[in-house]
Amino acid sequence: MALLHSFENSGNILFRKRGQIPVILFIFAIPVIYFTDYSHFSEIQVEVLTYISILLSIIGFYIRAVSIGTTPKGTSGRNTKSQVAESLNRTGIYSMVRHPLYLGNYLMWIGIVSFTFNFYFVIIVSLAFWLYYERIMFAEERFLERKFGDDYLEWSKSVPAFIPGFKNYIKSEVPFSIISVLRREYSGFLATVIGFTFIDYLRYYFTTGEFAVLRLSLYCLVIAKMITLILRSLKHHSKLLNEEGRS
């Protein structure tokens, strides 16, 4: 198999299995937190690092929300089996970066990783994320190139793959829809809160030797779960979150 086809094939396989990344992160976070020395962190440092971690995840979620909320039906979905693209997005956030959803994913999860307060873990996860998603992006771009031909090639020449180029911004042709975001992003929101809660409880247990029943992160998780259940119920048992021309 030619290297080109090998990269594309492995990218498609990784694309279908990308939902397993959170589980892998949770597993590796356990020994990282256990072996990290938190004794030299002051209360102010802990507070600052916590806010930075949460901010990174919020920025990632915002990027995903903008991407989801300004794209038409048949694009930028949560499809897990194969690539889907009925039209080529070239305006809005897609005029600045070719893969905004993956950029959002990275920031959401690197925020959780940063919450371990282990700089080496942040670097390792960043490198692993790039190696993993580089294949996915390669496979996706091969698919788009075959489907849209020169239109895609011309667009891709001026738009960065992962680091946004703000000077290229073109106003979105599709108006932002908060309904699309509420309908499609609640699971990612809940997963992010679960990640922060998991690390918070794990770090507290390893540093104190005690298991705290009630912590602020647990209250946040309960609220996030309630929001998720409400949105999921509205999505599957009502038409309140339905939109014409949206996925």
> Quick check: is 28 in a domain?
yes
Total of domains in the chain: 1
Is 83 inside any structural domain?
yes
User: Counting beta carbons within 10 angstroms of the beta carbon of residue 1, is it exposed (0 to 12), middle (13 to 18) or buried (19 or more)?
Assistant: exposed
Query: For residue 245, is it within any domain?
Result: no
Classified as helix, coil or strand, 212 is coil
Closest by Cα among 61, 58, 60, 93 to 186: 61
Is residue 51 one of the residues assigned to a domain? yes
| Amino acid of residue 156 | S
- For 19, how many CA atoms within 13 A lie in the half-sphere containing its CB? 7
What is the rounded distance in angstroms from the CA atom of residue 197 to the CA atom of residue 201? 6
Burial of 235 (0-12, 13-18, 19+ CB in 10 A): middle
**Residue for token digits 């699309």?**
180
CATH number at 104 reads: 1.20.120
CB 92 within 8 A of CB 70: yes
Those residues of the chain that have pLDDT short of 50 are 77, 80, 82
Helix H, strand E, coil C: the string for 83-152 is CCCCCCCCCEHHHCCCCHHHHHHHHHHHHHHHCCCCHHHHHHHHHHHHHHHHHHHHHHHHHHHHHHCHHH
Question: Which range of residues forms the domain containing residue 94?
Answer: 3-177
Q: Is residue 191 part of a domain?
A: no
Residue type, 228: T
Tell me whether residue 185 is in a domain.
no
**What's the pLDDT score for residue 20?**
72
pTM, entire model: 0.87
Q: What's the CA gap between 108 and 111, in Å, rounded? A: 5
Q: Is residue 182 part of a domain?
A: no
Which own/partner pairs from 21-26 qualify as long-range (CB within 8 Å, at least 24 positions apart)? 21/109, 21/132, 22/109, 22/191, 22/195, 25/109, 25/112, 25/113, 25/125, 25/195, 26/195, 26/198
- For residue 190, give the nearest of 216, 229, 245 by alpha carbon: 229
Q: Is position 52 within any domain?
A: yes
